[in-house]
Structure 1
Amino acid sequence: MQNPIGIFDSGVGGTSIWKELHALMPNESTIYLADSNNAPYGEKSEEKILQLCIKNTELLLSKKCKLIVVACNTATTNAITQLRKTYTVPFIGIEPAIKPAALQTQTKKVGVLATKGTLSSALFNSTSKLYASGIKVFEQEGTGLVKLIESGLAKSNEVRNLLEQFLRPMLKEGIDCLVLGCTHYPYLIPALKEILPNNVKIVDSGLAVAQQTKSILKKNDLLNNDSTLAPKNIFYSNTNPAVLKELINNSGVEVSYLDF
């Protein structure tokens, strides 16, 4: 099926998920919505997050998307249950990778860096209880990080200082896995690698989400098996798309402003 995969996030962070999707399924067309005008979702109420997710979903459905990836941890944990009840299209969500971290940790101590909206959600707490039995989980809100990444400052000293401040208590506790609980945060991996000791593994959900997306497309007979038509990858931002263009850095995509 040649219809595109729809992807939305509270800004540019979900492009980290798009890169995994595109690498795994290069024949698939995609439409990406960067709702940067409302970033970060993690500081909004559950009701407001749901309203934004419905708005994004309706736009992607109007563009004939066959599946929607909610490429935002906060949106997934606060809204995906209701989205699945409301629409017939398959939804793929993003949750902090507690399970793989719990399986990998040797010290039985895991750090989670995420937004307030994710850490306070019922879904995050139920996932932690389910998969982190016997594991001590240290939670840290990444306050301010999303706004800096949205401003193109992922490599700034300000980001580095915030990360050092956030990670210091976790490292003192002896974590050996750090879960990135926001799709913006993979863009901080270069800085994180400079700060974290070699024994601390960085765990994120990107590849697992891409694999799950492919599995659901296949299960529903939605994969694009026609390689004669070149896929289209279209990105929309409702603010200045310059940061989005810089992060994508791919000549085979269209990036433009859209008021949504």
Structure 2
Amino acid sequence: MDERPIGLMDSGLGGLSVMRVLHKQLPDESLIFVGDQGHFPYGTKSQEELQQLVLKIGRFLVDQGIKMMIIACNTATGAALPLLQRELPVPVIGVIEPGATAAVNHHLKTVGVIGTASTIEKGAYPRTLHQFDANMTVYSHAAQPMVSIVEHGLTGTPTAQQTVDTELAYFDQHPVDGLILGCTHFPFLAAEIQRKMGDGVLLIDPAYETIKQAQELLTKHGLLTDKPSGMIRLYTTGERADLVAGAEKWLAGQFTSCDHVDL
């Protein structure tokens, strides 16, 4: 058994949507989260910039003694997952392949993908989905402004619904059976997204399949802890108050500490 923490990172608050699932599924595990709010947004940065940022965070997490890293950010996964898997001495998993797996497991024929401009431009989801099912129809659409709605704490407001309605109008002409929330910020807008898309469209949050795969890997290698009540430490490269506000809302205040870090 291994008491070392699991590390997670995101460009901002979005990764908390993965962290809350992880904490619910594996409540005894200690967790360390880095929100790179000082460099937000990731969706408009080059691959080279993203790789440098994510690698710095990965090395910081390794210095904190983690046993596994989860890139809880679709944009960062698309840009830097292979690099981190090569460079870091711990297992590293991302959220794109699990998200695609979840869609395929639901036997969907027509799937939408929404994400940041970078995620959609790189085409990682259609490429991965078609590796699993060459006949699947995939419609990808960038919805960058929805990320800022979450970062600014505007979920559940008329502004949030208006933004979602505008950004997802694309699917009025491209109907789908399911929609992959290809940005970890988007599960926090699930209610608004479901209202726009309709009850007949299945929303797919990659976090659940990601944590399933993480749990299987930890179990296989004997890395799960056998000590109860893990600690949750949060770090931000931006304003500490912003991450605290997000964690109070999305983690129900279940964190041990929150600090600023310069990377």
User: Could you say whether these structures have the same fold, taking a TM-score greater than 0.5 normalized by the shorter chain as the test?
Assistant: yes
Write the deviation string for residues 60-99 of structure 1: whole angstroms up to 9, x where unpaired: 0111111111101111111110111112210011106234
2:206 is the alignment partner of 1:205: yes
- Contact 1:113-1:139 within 8 A present in 2 as well: yes
Q: Give the superposition deviation at 1:105.
A: 5.6
Q: Is the 8 A contact 2:3 2:30 kept in 1?
A: yes
Distance 1:217 1:248 in 2: 23
Task: Summarize the alignment of residues 213-252 of structure 1 with structure 2, pairs less than 5 Å apart.
Answer: 213-227=214-228, 230-240=229-239, 241-245=243-247, 246-252=249-255
TM-score by length of 2: 0.90
Q: Secondary structure, in 3 states, of the residue corresponding to 1:140?
A: strand
CA distance in structure 2 between the partners assigned to 1:111 and 1:63 by the alignment: 38
For 2:262, what is the secondary structure of its paired residue? coil
Give the whole-Å Cα distance in 2 for the aligned partners of 1:216 and 1:170.
36
Equivalents in 2 of 1:163, 1:238: separation in Å? Answer: 28
Task: Tell me the equivalent position of 1:51.
Answer: 52
User: How many angstroms apart in 2 are the aligned matches of 1:159 and 1:132?
Assistant: 34
Q: Does structure 2 retain, via aligned residues, the 8 Å contact 1:41–1:75?
A: yes
Structure 1 residue 37, shift from structure 2 partner:
1.4
Question: Deviation of residue 126 (structure 1)?
Answer: 2.5
Q: How much does 1:115 deviate? A: 1.0
CA separation of 1:211/1:101 partners in 2, compared to 1, >3 Å: closer, same or farther? closer
Query: Given the superposition, is the C-alpha separation of residues 103 and 172 from structure 1 closer, same or farther in structure 2, using an over 3 Å criterion?
Result: farther
| 2:30 paired residue number | 29
- Aligned letter for 2:246? L
Q: How far is the alpha carbon of 1:243 from its aligned partner?
A: 3.0
Equivalent position to 1:253, from 240, 244, 256 = 256
Q: Partners of 1:15 and 1:55 in 2: how far apart? A: 19
CA distance in 2, matches of 1:257, 1:244: 14
Aligned 1:96-245 pairs, distance under 5 A = 97-104=99-106, 108-121=109-122, 123-227=124-228, 230-240=229-239, 241-245=243-247
* Distance apart, 1:251 and its partner CA: 3.9
Per the alignment, in what secondary structure is the counterpart of residue 29 of structure 2? coil
Q: State TM-score, norm by structure 1.
A: 0.91
Q: CA deviation at 1:253?
A: 3.2
C-alpha distance in 2, partners of 1:67/1:216?
A: 9
Q: Counterpart of 1:87 in structure 2: which amino acid?
A: L
**Distance 1:171-1:109 versus aligned 2 partners, 3 A rule:** farther
Gaps of 5+ in 1: none
Equivalent residues of 2:4, 2:30 under 8 A apart: yes
Query: Aligned runs of 1:70-81 on 2, under 5 Å?
Result: 70-81=71-82
- Give how far 1:252 is off: 4.6
Check the 8 A contact 1:112/1:138 in 2, yes or no.
yes
Aligned residues: 257
Given residue 44 of structure 1, which amino acid in structure 2 is its aligned partner? K
Residue deviations 1:97-151, cap 9 Å, x none? Answer: 2343245366x32211111211222643430321342222111101212122111
SS in 1 for 2:114: strand
Question: The residue matched to 1:244 in structure 2 has which SS?
Answer: helix
What RMSD in Å do the two structures reach over aligned CA positions? 1.9
Q: SS in structure 2 opposite 1:120?
A: helix
Partner of 1:16: 17
Letter in 2 for 1:50: Q
Asked if 2 retains the 8 angstrom alpha-carbon contact of 1:67 and 1:91, the reply is yes
Report the CA distance shift for 1:123/1:194 in structure 2 as closer, same or farther (over 3 A): closer
Q: What amino acid maps onto 1:85 in structure 2? A: R
Deviates further, 162-171 or 137-146: 162-171
Supply the distance in 2 between the matched residues of 1:184 and 1:14 (Cα, whole angstroms): 7
The percentage of counterpart residues that share the same residue type is 28
